[in-house]
Structure 1
Amino acid sequence: MSKKIHEFNDMIRKLRKDLLGKGPERIHSVFVENMAIATLYGNLTPTEKFIAQTPEGREMVHAARTKLIQDVYSKAPPEGMEELIGAKLINLFSDIKVEEDIAVSVFVFDKNIT
């Protein structure tokens, strides 16, 4: 794994841990042209797992997680992310499959990642 990907994953993990009290257990990221695509495994807190035992609870956890992450990144990327990547973050697309505790985030930058 390249040093840049490792540092990128650490930024994602730290932000989510600070924000939600638990970061993902494992992150796999790839850089493709102007995108960083991160697959995050083991995201949910014990409380979220408990809430997600019903269909309504799963929907609530999904909506809260998705909106919270998108809101945080829309205000500002994690400190040092744009410097590390060498490009400005222009969009984040994020979703989580609560039943499988897997999330995907696609970070779109204003130029290709080198």
Structure 2
Amino acid sequence: MKTQKKETTVNAASIVDQPILDLDGTAHPELTIGKAIVAALINVYPDEQSVSGEEKMRRFVLAQRIALGTDIDLTAEDTALAKKMVAKCYGTLVVGRVWAVLDPASAR
């Protein structure tokens, strides 16, 4: 019998205003987990000139749900997309902070 991996979900409302912390624990005054994810999802990347309208819409819908702080759980697919786009958009510190919230197992 195949066992299914339990999916961990993240509530969008719980991350929207969570600050990005420096390595010393100091909060960045204007950057939050939610803002970082939204910016990564709606950004235009030079290597993605041929991204489909469907994919852009998928990113937009997820960005809007996070930006509005909607009280919904992000699916494993949502989380994977957010992680992929944050890694593409930001440096190590922001990626580490965002991934630790979206997927705590990745921070170990």
Say yes or no: TM over 0.5: no
Q: Which has the higher helix share?
A: 2
Q: Which has the higher strand share?
A: 1
Provide the TM-score with structure 1 as the length reference: 0.28
Which structure is higher in RCO with an 8 Å CA cutoff and minimum separation 6?
2
Provide the TM-score with structure 2 as the length reference: 0.30
